[in-house]
Structure 1
């Protein structure tokens, strides 16, 4: 009975994975980006087409020197670049004051102090949205680089002369050698698979602040970051989690819209970044947490139970025990569905990776699948123990 129960549970979790792969992930794999001549739209639209690019930066002088000319040269008729200099001490202020007169679209605001009621990034963004000259904002970070001079026009295309209010973009990380970089790229790809696919399924739940556009009217109509103003992080995903709907959200898979980022180079830096992201996730809407929990839990259990089933088969062989007819039937069905799941994941996520800047090589998708299951499992365990420690400390 224990073996049968194990096999039935395995069948259930793998079946959940099949639903996600073939009915959710496939939406991104086979999505056709609507073709729009956005330059004509922007030039001919009488209102609502201007864009403010917002870059919040603290001690990012080296990156700003390289990034701002790339943003200033974007091919779009009506836009500005607003740099929020958040208490920088590396010469950023002098650079912005003296060295950018040739960048005619760039202006900046200096922030000199922190405010107790709000985290620094959210304060800077709130001020930026209040001071933005145009009704659409496009967010990125100082350590990012646009894939082309069509980044701006392609990212805001879904919002021009349209009821859409949010445009979700992709921000791949640069390829570097080593396991850490492979894990970062794998996790970035799979996160994109999830938020793009669920958005296309009418259940948007997050965006990435390195490449995200929305209307300022949406921000102020929903009181900005008010509900999570003291939470570290969440200026992108928590805000989108609150305001995004299936009707007001669009996705951008055009390669011109990609915003390349520099990855963390040490395990300590990356682990700190992931801790912040996991901390933010607990504030998601219940429905989003349920769907993501089901997705992640079934992913982890698919591999854990596969290893357990394999161990059971090995023990039976070593002990010369035989399976009953029902056990053999469930084992064959489970193995077949597991193989179908692996082939489906490989082909569909591999196709998405190909579309998203070849983030992970197609041949490495099975390794990515197993590595992410291991990573999500450890992250879940760490989160549970961290919360228990906090409760004990509070008492």
Structure 2
């Protein structure tokens, strides 16, 4: 039995090698595309529900972008706090702000996709750039750099939505590592020519791509997924590109308690079950290989006489993963999380396993 386990372990290491070196290496060792500003009219779309504190801080940052032709479409999704009041004040203060007021609809009660659909239709420009109400761009060139990736063929641009660093917070390192790893995955598959997801914190596409797939209609009843499910449906090898220039990043306020982050990850992971079959398969194989690598490593080191061979395989696996993620973390300005890589990975793998088990017995809470 241990012999069979050993050979399975070798296969697992081989699978991990394929993912980290062949697949993720496409992003890890890629050079950033040269930014050639297009100066095309852009509509920045922000949807908010009860985000008064965040929009008070971040809308002025969006308004200060160094770009000649852009509007900001602010969507208030039936907020019960002061969000709408703030939006109305910003509309008076900035001439390029367009306000969309969404009232609760019985058919789409509390559905962010319904609110976003109204905002997309209201946008006057054909090129749309999305971020969340609790996000802000790292530089005044965010619009310029993201929009520079558009071409007549490339009409979907996947960006990086990072989380702020909190000193002396190990949870923060876990959150940022998981965010980085997710970005490495969707950037890499997009580079290969098989884009499967993006994040609404930093995402751009031409309006026609939205209408080509009838918007969110095919997954309107699924509360999450206005970003990743849409990209999974609309993105192709021909129409999708990525942007990882460090001045194109957006930053969000991270969760500060494990309970809140756990609930957030449940919402995110719940949409993956609706991806295309190949995408579900490749994500499942990657996660299962991570889990089994950890479990089989412990078993074989404890019971196999040839433990030195096992130890060498473990070392080899951590060498190539550390190199690939090291290059990737440098690109995404997350190098500090790699000092804790083995520990964070183990915690994250078993947290994801816990999320999967928990989701089987209860549904996650969605849009506020």
> What range is the shorter-chain TM-score in?
over 0.9
- Equivalent in the alignment of 2:265: 274
1:351 maps to 2:350: no
Q: Secondary structure at the match of 2:136?
A: strand
Aligned to 1:338: 314
In the alignment, does 2:47 pair up with 1:56?
A: yes
Aligned-residue Cα RMSD (Å) equals 1.8
Q: Does 1:193 align with 2:167?
A: no
Cα contact 2:108–2:114 (8 A) shared by 1: no
Q: Given the two structures, how large is their TM-score scaled by the length of structure 1?
A: 0.87
Query: Equivalents in 1 of 2:212, 2:137: separation in Å?
Result: 30
The unaligned stretches of length 5 or more in structure 2 are: 364-368
User: Do 1:143 and 1:261's aligned partners in 2 also have CA atoms closer than 8 Å?
Assistant: yes
> Normalised by the size of structure 2, how large is the TM-score?
0.93
Which aligned pairs between 1:127-138 and structure 2 lie closer than 5 A? 127-138=118-129
Aligned 8 A contact 2:197 2:227 in 1: yes
What SS does structure 1 have at the residue aligned with 2:125?
coil
1:318 maps to what in 2? none
For the residue of structure 2 that corresponds to 1:101, the secondary structure is helix
| SS class of match (1:83) | strand
- Match of 2:352? 376
Q: State the shift of 1:365 in Å.
A: 2.1
SS at match of 2:205: strand
The whole-number CA distance in structure 2 between the counterparts of 1:162 and 1:364 is 42
Q: Which residue of 2 aligns with 1:175?
A: 165
Instruction: Give 1:118 deviation, angstroms.
Output: 6.6
SS at match of 1:137: strand
Q: Distance in 1 between matches of 2:264 and 2:324?
A: 28
Look up the match of 2:342: 366
In structure 2, relative to structure 1, the CA distance for the partners of 1:189 and 1:83 (3 Å cut) is: same
Q: Larger radius of gyration, structure 1 or 2?
A: 1
**Residue 165 of structure 1, aligned match among 147, 155, 158:** 155
Give CA deviations for 1:228-283 in whole Å, capped at 9, x if unaligned. Answer: 10111010000101111122111111011100000112222222212212221110
Q: Could you tell me whether the CA contact under 8 Å between 1:147 and 1:256 is conserved in 2?
A: yes
Alpha-carbon contact 2:197-2:232 (below 8 Å) kept: yes
Partner of 2:366: none
Q: Deviations over 1:145-174 (max 9, x none)?
A: 110001111112111x43101111111111
Tell me the residue number matched to 1:290. 281
Which secondary structure does the structure 2 equivalent of 1:357 belong to? Answer: coil
Mean alpha-carbon deviation: is it higher for 366-375 or for 337-346?
366-375
Structure 1 residues without counterparts, runs of 5 or longer: 43-48, 314-322, 388-395
Q: Measured at CA, do residues 219 and 53 of structure 1 come closer, stay the same or move farther in structure 2, by a change above 3 Å?
A: same
In the alignment, is residue 249 of structure 1 matched against residue 240 of structure 2?
A: yes
Q: Report the CA distance shift for 1:98/1:339 in structure 2 as closer, same or farther (over 3 A).
A: closer
Residue 141 (1) aligns with residue 117 (2): no
Looking at structure 2, the residues matched to 277 and 263 of structure 1 have their Cα atoms a distance apart, in angstroms, of 14
Determine whether 1:33 maps to 2:32. Answer: yes
Per the TM alignment, residue 103 of structure 1 is displaced from its structure 2 partner at its CA by: 1.8
The question of whether the paired residues in 2 share the 8 Å contact of 1:300 and 1:376 is answered with no
Moved over 4 A (4+): 331-334, 383-387
CA drift of 1:180 comes to 2.3
Indicate how the Cα distance of structure 1 residues 200 and 353 shifts in structure 2: closer, same or farther if over 3 A, else same: same
Pair 1:274–1:362, CA change in 2 (3 A): closer
In 2 relative to 1, CA 256–226 (structure 1 residues): closer, same or farther, beyond 3 Å? same
- Residue 291 (structure 2) pairs with residue 300 (structure 1): yes
Q: CA deviation at 1:85?
A: 0.9
| Secondary structure at the counterpart of residue 204 of structure 2 | strand
Residue in structure 2 matched with residue 219 of structure 1 by the alignment: 210
Return 136-145 or 68-77, whichever deviates more.
68-77
Q: Specify which of 72, 83, 97 is matched with residue 81 of structure 1.
A: 72
- Pair 335,384 (structure 1): closer, same or farther in 2 beyond 3 Å: farther
